[in-house]
Structure 1
Amino acid sequence: MCGINLIISKKGKAPDSAIIALTEANKHRGPDATVYFTDTYQNGQIYFGHNRLKIIDLSPAANQPFFSADERFLLLYNGEIYNYLALRQELQTQGYAFRTNSDTEVLLAVLITYGQAGIEKLNGMFAFVFYDTQTQQLLAARDRFGIKRLYYVHTPDYLLLSSEINSLLASGLVKKELNESQLLAYLRYRHALKPETFYRDIMELEEGQVLTYANHTLHLASYLTPPAPNLIIYSEAEIIQKTESLLLQSVERHLQADVPVGLFLSGGIDSTLILALAQQLGYAHFPAFTVSNKASESTFGSEDYWFSRVAAQQFGAEHLSFEINASILHYLDELVATLDQPIADGAALLTYYLSEQVKGKIKVALSGAGADELYGGYNRHRAFYHFLQHRSLARMALPLLQASAPLLATGIKHPLRKQFLLLRKLAYKIKPQHPEQTFLNFTSMDRHLQQLLQPQFQVLQTPAEQSNMSTELLRWGLDRDLHQYLIADILAMTDKTSMAHSLEVRTPYLDNHLHQFTQSLPAEVLFKNGSKWILKRILEQHHGQQLTHRAKEGFGMPLGQWLKETANQWLFADLQNPQHLIFKFLKFPETQILIQALRQGRHDYSTELWALIVLARWLNKRFTD
């Protein structure tokens, strides 16, 4: 894991301070080595800066920019290529002589040997810049899952690329202007909608995309070949066997490192199954780390505190659990300073805190991220599946559900609070005549949040795609989460919060072969025996029955309780100040109504208010000096 940085100055030299500031701003991504290189570029100059986090081949010989033996080609690279050993062997049979044991050199050799076509051979997480000093052609790419990030700015004077938006701004070559069109996207979906960002001139290279630059011309394209249609029908036993085999191989590849590796363990299906497979691979006393709320706060939080302990004991992990309380909220300003863009996900604060706690104990952490998107694990996935199966019933039941929804208490502590919250969401989000919009509603926050936006900022976002068959709709919904929510929320906040503490996070479920097989299954197969039944059956074969019956819970804080406590009312200071920058965009009186509804226990708007708290802090940090 590293930080990659590049500037092409088209009209003469840029200030040397630009590449230095650009690279220094993401030094936390790679504190082990920092290297610069510059060269002439037509009538201008090209600058490279790289910060390295040493994971594989710790020698200085693997530092970057990494040059070919003849010094014609160079590579800036961030990530891990998990099949690098197989690719290395393939290239050696063709006569390629390697000078290091790094996956960096393997990636460079793949690109020299196969060109852009070689990118599809890579199984891993990556963002890289590959440059030919002879032809002055540049190629940049991002992995197919969007695990690693790459942002760029293209103006008449400059092309800049970096692993982080904050770094681009630090260069002094990029105008800092708010992209107001992303406000509605944020208030709906918790994040910006790529490829745009919260900054007008800064774009995000999308997953599976390649950027080429030559003769001052920038071109974007996908490097992925569409998969061939699958004509094989698998039995349940074959699905389970093949999934376990592919996941086991993926976990084994993800454990490759020359530094200590551990696991983020929630006690849910996804992370527990990784732990079980690591044990099967012979990793005894595997380091596992949990962050959890108190047992007394589980109604508003989760039961990770209990299930993670059970999982660790059963699979022989060396377990360390960090119990949190509301004092963790004081990390908010540190979190906001870390974020390139606001992300309205309470899990970001937990991941930031957990990454800080494990720093020095491990340098790589495995995560269960991606499993819910692949296997339909979210409550909204199951709800959408049943909605598509019973649309006529939904149409008949909806009036009754909408009439009773206001009576369902969600803002006070009681055993059915989470169920009531789900029913209340369904009442306002189901649109029987518009299934695509129904799914988009399932992925969005409460409608009252979007209604806070001043009319001039109510910019229409990307419309839903059209589809006619229920199976296509189901796959469309799953794929949308895979390509939007997973990348712009889960993976984005994981990358930012972990790398702030120089910690690499790996995601074994996001493996080329496992993804290809899962995508080949009809979407409805994923739900035929209940939510994530495939993963549950595999875990049960490892004697994890006690953990497979756990209800789905998000990775988050008990905000519904904490935000009502007197000691935490400081969090609302920005939202109760009508002069704050946020109220250039939001309606002040209506915002106060949401705050009072939460305080009085009428409805749990904690998710929505957390989104506003983060946005207000972020705007204050980035746009009020």
Structure 2
Amino acid sequence: MCGISGCVLRAGDHTPPADLVAIVESQDRRGPDSRGYMARALGDGRTLWLAHNRLSIIDLSAEANQPMVSEDERYCLVFNGMIYNYVELREELAAAGYMFRTASDTEVLLAAMTVWGEAGLPRLFGMFTLAFHDRATNRLVLARDRFGVKPLYYRQSGDDIWFASTPGAMARSGGCEPDLEYAGRGIRLKYYEDETDIAPYHGIHAMPPGHCATIDLTSRAVVTPRPYYDLDEAWRAERPRLAAMNASELRAELLDRLRDATMIRLRADVPIGISLSAGVDSTTVAALCAESGTPPLGFCFGDPDDDASEAPAVRRFATYLGQKVHFIPQATGEDAGRLFWRTLRAQGAPFPHSSQIAQYAVFESARAHGLKVMLGGQGGDEAFMGYRKFFLFQVRHLLRTRDWKAIPAAASNIFQILPAVASRASLFWRERGRYSADSTEGLGSGLQLPPLSRSASPGTGLGSDPAIRQALDVTRYSLPSLLRYEDRNSMGNSIESRLPFLDHRVIEFGTALPVRHKLRGGMGKYLLRDAMRGKVPDRILFNRDKRGFDTRHADWIAAGIGVAIRRGLAIHAGAAARYLPADATIDGYFSDTALTAVASRFAEATTLLWLLDPGLASYPEA
């Protein structure tokens, strides 16, 4: 896990350009173990610069540092991430005659791109972004993993090209202003990133997940991303085969895929930990790790003596599994405020909820314990319809298609979840605009922001095929933004976060799986729960009251984050006024009550702090 950056510029001297150095310095926490620069003359007065921040995980030697060049110096690579199947690829490439100099996954990726080119991208099981230059053809390849676990941004200005793992320093050097469309969709639709090239700043683009671009540097450079992976194509191809299988066969295949996805994510030359909650996903990963030996050290947000938190259930699970767990208490007062500012600076963009602060605290604790790698359960809800909204999507779809025979079972699911969701019915009603095919307003916002464009419309509506809607959670509504929070919070603490549920083999299987194996008995993820019987306690597997990463938002606001937000906004009170409703004040609009009770208010607060100072330099030190 690292940070990459680079640029194509008119040649100066042999010193890295100041703006590139600034980008590398801004990404120091992504890779504090070493920095590297390389200049490649393009022969027309221009130079390609490649730069790298390294977090050493596989082969800790200096020989595995980047940029990495082939022995004949024709090829050069910088990459961020982890190729989990590098062992198998290395064996295949070695059998074909490739001679390896290191034990790193970086050199395996360099060899794969050398031998197979872009055709090698679908062979990679992993999370990655890369820049690969072929000196003979003068072509530069930029690529990003299937689901966008790792970020890559680029900017073009005339013949100049800039790219980096994070956009902030690149935006500042290019004079790029915050994108109000990006800010507004996060407030109104509750997602920022998606399957497009949208980025936090005007003039900067995200490389879309599952895309690559080959840039011909012998002519006027143009970055034109194109897909090398299509989730819809993949899950639709799997659907007929899975539909013909019985439950026992499906359970066995699911376990095979998930077990292998977990095992290859244990490959590391440094210790590994795991983020734990009392949910099915993270406990599943921990239980599968335990099959191969001692489970990794766990990290859980909460007090194990507070029955209102998840921590007591995590402690019971750890006892059951024979696992050690470190519990992270909620910060209060000035400590809570400082933690808020550290999280906002790590994100470098708005975020919608205090759960992102708790996630940052977990990674911060892991780093304090000397860890560089953490496993997690992110992606399980998207892979297997873990969200309760899917029960409603299913009923609406059956009514729309007049599948009368299937409606009673689907309606039964709704009735079984009513006790658990009754208290949140008003929240769903307020958020229903997020799922409407023709709405661009979503939750609405009191901030004075322009209306969203039609391109930001939620899209498919409540009555679409649940599998299509599930795939859109992976590519648009849910996962892309969650992965941004995960990446920035982990890398903000120099931690590599590995997510077994984001293995493409698991996502494709889960999306293609017939709905009846995902939604049953008033529960989502049914096949996963059923497959993990005997490995995870039933009180976790079949707990209908689990509500995700519940960090008790009101407690966070009251603990000191509300005060921190108001103090930060007061620094720019005059500029903030133009975004607030008429006659609104910072203290009133962002009171603790409003930050807790109004669904979009916390997102509005982080958005406004970011808009007023995108570099976040004027706010209190953390």
TM-score over 0.5 for the pair: yes
Q: Which residue in 1 is equivalent to 2:128?
A: 126
What is the CA–CA distance in structure 1 between the aligned matches of 2:103 and 2:572, rounded to whole Å? 58
Contact 2:38 / 2:50 at 8 angstroms: preserved in 1? yes
Native 8 Å contact 1:582 1:619 kept in 2: no
Distance 1:99 1:15 in 2: 27
Q: Work out the percentage of aligned pairs sharing the same amino acid.
A: 26
Q: Which residue of 2 aligns with 1:70?
A: 72
Say whether the 8 Å CA contact 2:183–2:350 is kept in structure 1: no
**Match in the other structure for 2:200:** 198
Partner of 1:401: none
- Indicate conservation of the 8 Å contact 1:574/1:613, yes or no: no
Match for residue 409 of structure 2?
none
Q: 2:323 aligns with which of 314, 317, 322?
A: 317
Alignment of 1:518 onto 2:510 = yes
* 1:622 match: secondary structure: coil
Which amino acid is the alignment partner of residue 578 of structure 2?
Answer: K
Is 2:146 the counterpart of 1:153? no
Q: Match for 1:364 among 370, 373, 380? A: 373
| CA–CA distance in structure 1, aligned partners of residues 156 and 572 of structure 2 | 37
**What residue in structure 1 maps to residue 296 of structure 2?**
286
Equivalent in 211, 228, 234 of residue 223 of structure 1: 228
Matches for 1:212-291 after TM superposition, within 5 Å: 212-214=214-216, 215=219, 216-224=221-229, 226-227=233-234, 228=237, 230-232=239-241, 233-282=244-293, 284-291=294-301
Give the match for residue 413 of structure 1: none
Deviation at 1:29, TM superposition (A): 0.9
CA distance in 1, matches of 2:51, 2:110: 17
Instruction: Give deviations 1:571-623, integer Å, cap 9, x for gaps.
Output: 334668994434433425468798599739xx952542221221232233327
Q: 1:532 offset after TM fit, Å?
A: 1.1
Distance change in 2, residues 1:574/1:566 (3 Å): closer
In the alignment, does 2:9 pair up with 1:9?
yes
Residue 193 of structure 1 and its aligned partner are, at CA, apart by: 4.1
1:115, CA displacement in angstroms? Answer: 1.1
- Other-structure match for 2:393: 384
> How far 1:224 moved relative to its partner?
1.8
**Judging changes above 3 Å, is the alpha-carbon distance between structure 1 residues 311 and 39 closer, same or farther for their aligned structure 2 residues?**
same
- Quote the offset at 1:521 in angstroms: 1.8
Kindly indicate whether the alpha-carbon contact (under 8 Å) linking 1:151 and 1:163 is maintained by their aligned counterparts in 2.
Answer: yes
Counterparts in 2 of 1:581 and 1:80: CA distance versus 1, 3 Å: same
- 1:209-608 pair list within 5 angstroms: 209-214=211-216, 215=219, 216-224=221-229, 226-227=233-234, 228=237, 230-232=239-241, 233-282=244-293, 284-292=294-302, 298=308, 303-327=309-333, 328-359=336-367, 360-389=369-398, 419-430=421-432, 437=436, 447=443, 450-454=444-448, 456-466=450-460, 473-529=465-521, 530-550=523-543, 551-563=545-557, 568-573=562-567, 579-589=573-583, 595=589, 599=593, 605=597, 607-608=599-600
Partner deviation per Cα, 1:122-156 (whole Å, 9 max, x = no partner): 00000000101222100010000110010000110
Change (3 A) 1:230 1:268: closer
Aligned 1:18-167 pairs, distance under 5 A:
18-41=19-42, 42-167=44-169
Structure 1 Cα separation of the partners of residues 513 and 169 of structure 2: 41
Q: CA deviation at 1:525?
A: 3.4
Aligned residue for 1:177?
Answer: 177
CA contact (8 A) 1:197 1:341 kept: no
CA 1:317–1:92 in 2, change beyond 3 Å: closer, same or farther? same
Inter-partner Cα distance in structure 2 for 1:166 and 1:180: 15
Q: Is the 8 A contact 2:355 2:553 kept in 1?
A: no
Query: Could you say if the C-alpha distance between residues 231 and 70 of structure 1 is closer, same or farther in structure 2, counting changes exceeding 3 Å?
Result: same
Q: Distance in 1 between matches of 2:582 and 2:605?
A: 13
What's the CA shift string for 1:58-81, capped at 9, x where partnerless? 111111111111110010011111
TM-score, normalisation: structure 2: 0.86
Partner of 2:413: none
Code of the residue aligned with 1:437 in structure 2: it is S
Looking at structure 1, the residues matched to 21 and 571 of structure 2 have their Cα atoms a distance apart, in angstroms, of 38
Q: 1:567 Cα shift?
A: 9.1
CA contact (8 A) 2:382 2:479 kept: no
Instruction: Report the residue type matching 1:365 in the other structure.
Output: M
Assess if the C-alpha contact under 8 Å between 1:594 and 1:605 holds in 2: no
The answer to whether the Cα contact below 8 Å between 2:189 and 2:458 also exists between their aligned partners in 1 is no
> CA 1:287/1:440 → structure 2, altered by over 3 Å: closer, same or farther?
farther
Distance 1:270 1:305 in 2: 15
Q: Is the 8 A contact 1:19 1:48 kept in 2?
A: no
Structure 1 runs not aligned, ≥5 long: 394-415
| Residue type at the aligned position of 1:188 | R
Q: State the shift of 1:350 in Å.
A: 1.1
Residue 613 of structure 2 aligns to a residue whose secondary structure is helix
Alpha-carbon separation, structure 2, partners of 1:425 and 1:391: 24
Distance 1:485 1:462, change over 3 A: closer
Q: Hey, what's the Cα distance between the residues in 1 that align with 2:27 and 2:572?
A: 35
Q: CA deviation at 1:181?
A: 2.1
* Alpha-carbon offset, residue 11 of structure 1: 7.1
Deviation at 1:527, TM superposition (A): 1.1
Which whole-Å CA distance do the structure 1 matches of 2:379 and 2:477 have between them? 10
Find the aligned partners of 1:25 and 1:578 in 2 and give their Cα distance.
24
Residues 531 and 439 (structure 1), Cα distance of their counterparts in 2 relative to 1, 3 Å cut: farther
1:461 offset after TM fit, Å? 4.2
Counterpart of 2:90 in 1: which secondary structure?
Answer: helix
2:35 and 2:517 map into 1 onto residues whose CA distance is: 49
Query: d(CA) in 1 for partners of 2:313 and 2:612?
Result: 39
Q: SS at the partner of 2:51?
A: strand
Superposed displacement of residue 191, structure 1:
4.1
Q: Which residue of structure 2 lines up, in the alignment, with residue 396 of structure 1?
A: none
CA distance in 2, matches of 1:330, 1:377: 33
Deviation at 1:543, TM superposition (A): 5.0
SS at match of 2:161: strand
Shift of 1:459: 4.1
C-alpha distance in 2, partners of 1:381/1:329? Answer: 36
Shift of 1:489: 2.0
For these two proteins, the number of residue pairs brought into alignment is: 584
Retained in 1: the 8 A contact 2:302–2:330?
Answer: yes
Structure 1 596/251 Cα, relative in aligned 2: closer, same or farther at 3 Å?
closer
Deviates more, 1:419-428 or 1:489-498: 419-428
CA–CA separation in structure 1 for the residues paired with 2:574 and 2:384: 42
Instruction: Supply the RMSD in Å over aligned alpha carbons.
Output: 3.1
Worse-matched range after superposition: 325-334 or 16-25: 325-334
Which residue of structure 2 lines up, in the alignment, with residue 408 of structure 1? none
Distance 1:575 1:74, change over 3 A: closer
CA change 1:339–1:564 in 2 (3 A) is closer
Q: Deviations over 1:214-270 (max 9, x none)?
A: 122322100126333542212111111111111111111000100000110112100
Deviation at 1:297, TM superposition (A): 8.3
Counterpart residue identity of residue 249, structure 2: E
Q: Distance in 1 between the 2:520 and 2:254 partners?
A: 16
Instruction: Assess, with a 3 A threshold, how the Cα gap between structure 1 residues 346 and 310 changes in structure 2: closer, same or farther.
Output: same
- Letter aligned with residue 350 of structure 2: P
The 3 A distance-change label for structure 1 pair 596 and 420 is farther
Change (3 A) 1:589 1:578: farther
Amino acid at match of 1:290: C
Q: Distance in 1 between matches of 2:100 and 2:182?
A: 46
What CA distance in whole angstroms lies between the structure 1 residues aligned with 2:361 and 2:439?
A: 31
Cα gap change, 1:379/1:552 in structure 2, threshold over 3 Å: closer, same or farther? farther
Change (3 A) 1:589 1:304: farther
